[in-house]
């Protein structure tokens, strides 16, 4: 079992640039979650999808952030334009709602915006 796969693992970019983070959930899972982790704010849920449909995006900080899930095996989180305060570790997690509900996390993408 490959687990949740995220890419890239590290991203360094300059302010104003577009950043795209990618996630491949565990095969067979029906829900996907994007989180952001910082020292100041801890772990924050940004958005989650069920059966590829966004259910709750109330955690998305602002319009610069967008997320898509075009199919059951792929999701993206895009930041455009990026700002230094977006620097954080971004985690993707997947789960099978209705079977325990525990979430399985990817290794994260460490984003640094200069």
Partner 1 sequence: GDSVTQMEGPVTLSEEAFLTINCTYTATGYPSLFWYVQYPGEGLQLLLKATKADDKGSNKGFEATYRKETTSFHLEKGSVQVSDSAVYFCALTSSNDYKLSFGAGTTVTVRA
Interface with partner 1 (CB under 8 A): 4, 31, 33, 42-43, 45, 48, 50, 55-56, 91, 93, 95, 97, 100-108
Which is nearer to partner 1, 15 or 99 (by Cβ)?
Answer: 99
CB 77 within 8 A of CB 60: no
Which is nearer to partner 1, 15 or 55 (by Cβ)?
Answer: 55
Q: Which residues contact 104 (CB under 8 A, 6 or more apart)?
A: 3, 4, 26, 29, 93, 94, 95
Nearest approach, Cβ of 100 to partner 1 (angstroms)? 7
Nearest approach, Cβ of 86 to partner 1 (angstroms)? 19
CA distance 59 to 54: 12
Nearest approach, Cβ of 71 to partner 1 (angstroms)? 19
Which is nearer to partner 1, 35 or 65 (by Cβ)?
Answer: 35
User: Based on C-alpha coordinates, what's the Rg of the chain?
Assistant: 13
CA distance 35 to 48: 9
């Amino acid at each position: 079992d490959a687990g949740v796969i995220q890419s890239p693992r590290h991203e360094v970019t300059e302010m104003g640039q577009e950043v795209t983070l990618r996630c491949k959930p565990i095969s067979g899972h029906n829900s996907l979650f994007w989180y952001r982790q910082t020292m100041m704010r801890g772990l924050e849920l940004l958005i989650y999808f069920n059966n590829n449909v966004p259910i709750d995006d109330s955690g998305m900080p602002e319009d610069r952030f967008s997320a898509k899930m075009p199919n059951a095996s792929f999701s993206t989180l895009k930041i455009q334009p990026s700002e230094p305060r977006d620097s954080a570790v971004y985690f993707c997690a997947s789960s099978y709602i209705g079977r325990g509900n525990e979430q399985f996390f990817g290794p994260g993408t460490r984003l640094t915006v200069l």
